[in-house]
Chain A
Amino acid sequence: MPEQLLFAIEVTLNGLMAGVLYALVALGFVLIYKASGIFNYAQGVMALFAALTLVGIMEGQVPFAHLINAIFGTDIHHFGWHVPALAAILLTMLVMVVLAWAVNRFIFRHLVNQEPIILFMATIGLAYFMEGFGDLMWGSDIKKLDIGLPQGINTWIDEVTYNAFGYGFFIDNLDIVASIIAAILVAALIAFAQYTKQGRAMRAVADDHQAALSVGISLEFIWVMVWSLAGFVALVAGAMWGAKSGVQFSLSLIALKALPVLMLGGFTSIPGAIVGGLIIGVGEKLFEFLVGPLVGGATENWFAYVLALVFLVFRPQGLFGEKIIERV
């Protein structure tokens, strides 16, 4: 096989794996947007906050240590214990559920029937608040997250491809694990929405609030539920990204990767988020590989947006959205 083609296949595989994570982050947006019409600007910060909390719990960090020390003149930082990864993940999930409840109780319950732009601005406020709150709770230093996932080149794939084509593919174990976990989570979310009572209620709320109320669905319960699910998605995305490049502010920028995915897939479509994520993941990696060298590289920062914009011109409703027909 020609060398260029082999490179391209390797790049495509890496793109697919990145794409699964983009899809996951995009799903967090879709869940909340479908059920409540809120475009959650804070989704990326939620991922950062979840990752910070996960590290903090695992390392036995004392939350709000700076604040406590400043007030009481103490000098405590750690409890002196370590929490196993799985237990820490469950505890972090609990924190995300509490966060979901608080967000609805203290913000969105008071903004029912407000314009979408008001709701959007509330989430901007929420994003900055959570960013500061995360810092206050866990400190702002860069943290290493090790939840015991395998890292480094997958030697088996390397060997097999080397023996077959004379060129060994470089594929990171962490990427493989991350995409498998993300794929399972995506499948679980779809099964949840499709087959459970709560999932059915969620779809009902996404479709029509008034009708949902009349069949006995509590909107507030569903909103807390979708924010919890979005928090769960944020936790998984944050943990994967954090394991790869450390837990720091830039982690919250993964949300920016989800925007073009949403433009492509539509803001209300779960399959759209998945397919959109894969297209963007593969697209940006292949483009960088093929065209990057000609234009001096760094195309990954903007290619996804250009792709989404070009796409919007031809299908403004997204991949799976219903055709928007102007009624006159």
Chain B
Amino acid sequence: MLDSSEVTVTADGRRIGGVLMDIRNITLRFGGVVAIRDTSFDIREGEIRAIIGPNGAGKSSMLNVISGFYHPQEGEIWFRGEKRPPMKPYQVARQGIARTFQNIALFEGMSVLDNIMTGRLTHMKTGLAAQAIWWGRAEAEEVANREVVERVIDFLEIQHIRKTPVGRLPYGLKKRVELARALAAEPKLLLLDEPMAGMNVEEKEDMSRFILDVNDEFGTTIALIEHDMGVVMDLSDRVVVMDYGKKIGDGTPDEVRNNQDVIDAYLGVAHD
């Protein structure tokens, strides 16, 4: 196991630092349904952390708790060494945590470029009055934001669709645009809910490559949910395994693969 206090260097030369987010004893209920039961794990700076588990295990709920969409009844979240008070989603986003959704949430009526531009909203500082009176500064800011967005567009290889209304894009590209919008925020922590769900093999390979490249080139910390055990093993540094709302395994892909509880959960796929 990794020691959370020191910097580790992975086999492929990436640096993994101290704990960025610490999730402690989270319990989340919906009426009688316990979606998450007393679950704890941490996410370290610079790593790719996967959360896997069968359908209904509570993975999306966990991501929603981290991003402020759900509010747990019990437990604490520590971010960058500080305990986080209950927060609304927009407050979490402003802390530098960006996310994508399992069911894609894009602005369907806007172009790809405008969609990605909204990812910069948390970086736009100039106030309304200043925008009206002082076009110069607002424009300089706009230019700077556009540069970031263009870089993301190049990075994800979506130049050819930049002016296309998102509503007209095929599913796979929508997923990529959603990732682009999250990346445009230059997040400290990037949360991806099943980024490869519903994709064909080729699209899955592209997406895997993008995720690895984002982490490698920008050093972005990534927590991602994946349904498919195989994909996760190639991608992630450490894996949390959930089943029926509980954490049943936590460790490197190899450790998790050999964990008997995990094997049972995945063999007894009755509730998949």
Contact = CB atoms under 8 A, between A and B. Distances in A.
B122 A207 contact: no
A7 B11 CA distance: 86
Contact of B119 (A207, A213, A215, A218): A215
Contact of B105 (A197, A203, A214): A214
Contacts of B94: 216
A200 interface: yes
Contact of B98 (A196, A203, A214, A219): A214
Contacts of B114: 200
Contact of B121 (A208, A210, A215, A219): A215
A198 interface: yes
A319 interface: no
A208 B117 contact: no
B108 A208 contact: yes
Given A197-B126, A197-B131, A217 B121 contact: yes
B110 A213 contact: no
Contacts of A307: none
12 contacts: A197-B126, A201-B118, A204-B121, A211-B101, A212-B107, A214-B89, A214-B101, A214-B182, A215-B119, A215-B185, A216-B90, A217-B90
A197 B117 CA distance: 10
Contacts of A195: 131
A87 B63 CA distance: 50
B269 interface: no
Nearest to B184: A215
- Could you say which of B88, B121, B132 has the most chain A C-beta atoms within 10 Å of its C-beta? B121
Contacts of B88: 213, 218
A215 B99 CA distance: 8
Interface in A190-248: 195-198, 200-201, 203-204, 207-208, 210-219
Interface in B173-190: 181-182, 185
Nearest to B89: A213
B200 to A, nearest CB: 23
B90 A218 contact: yes
- Could you say which of A203, A204, A207 has the most chain B C-beta atoms within 10 Å of its C-beta? A207
Nearest to A205: B107
Interface string B15-27: 0000000000000
Interface in B73-97: 88-90, 93-94
B56 to A, nearest CB: 21
Contacts of A198: 128
Nearest to A191: B132
- Could you say which of B94, B109, B117 has the most chain A C-beta atoms within 10 Å of its C-beta? B109
Contacts of A213: 69, 88-90, 93
- Top 4 nearest A-B pairs (CB, nearest first) are A216-B93, A211-B105, A213-B89, A207-B107
B128 A200 contact: no
B158 interface: no
Contact of B110 (A207, A210, A217): A207
B193 to A, nearest CB: 11
Interface of B: 67, 69, 88-90, 93-94, 98-99, 101, 105-110, 114, 117-119, 121-122, 124, 126, 128, 131-132, 138, 181-182, 185
A196 to B, nearest CB: 5
Contacts of B182: 214
A214 B63 CA distance: 12
B185 to A, nearest CB: 7
Contacts of A210: 101, 105
A198 B106 CA distance: 18
A211 B98 CA distance: 11
A93 to B, nearest CB: 14
Contacts of A218: 88, 90
A203 B185 contact: no
A200 B118 contact: yes
Contacts of A217: 90, 121
Nearest to A206: B109
A210 B118 CA distance: 13
Given A208-B105, A215-B118, 6 more contacts: A196-B138, A204-B121, A207-B109, A210-B105, A215-B185, A216-B185
A207 to B, nearest CB: 4
A208 B107 contact: yes
Nearest to A215: B118
A212 to B, nearest CB: 8
- Could you say which of A198, A200, A204, A215 has the most chain B C-beta atoms within 10 Å of its C-beta? A215
Given A207-B109, A208-B107, A208-B108, A215 B131 contact: no
Nearest to A217: B90
Nearest to A222: B90
A213 B131 CA distance: 23
B171 to A, nearest CB: 16
A204 B93 contact: no
Interface in A170-207: 195-198, 200-201, 203-204, 207
A269 B110 CA distance: 14
B64 to A, nearest CB: 11
A219 B90 CA distance: 8
B121 A197 contact: yes
Contacts of A214: 67, 89, 93, 98-99, 101, 105, 182
Contacts of A208: 105-108
A207 B108 contact: yes
A218 B105 CA distance: 16
- Could you say which of A195, A203, A214, A219 has the most chain B C-beta atoms within 10 Å of its C-beta? A214
Contacts of B181: 215
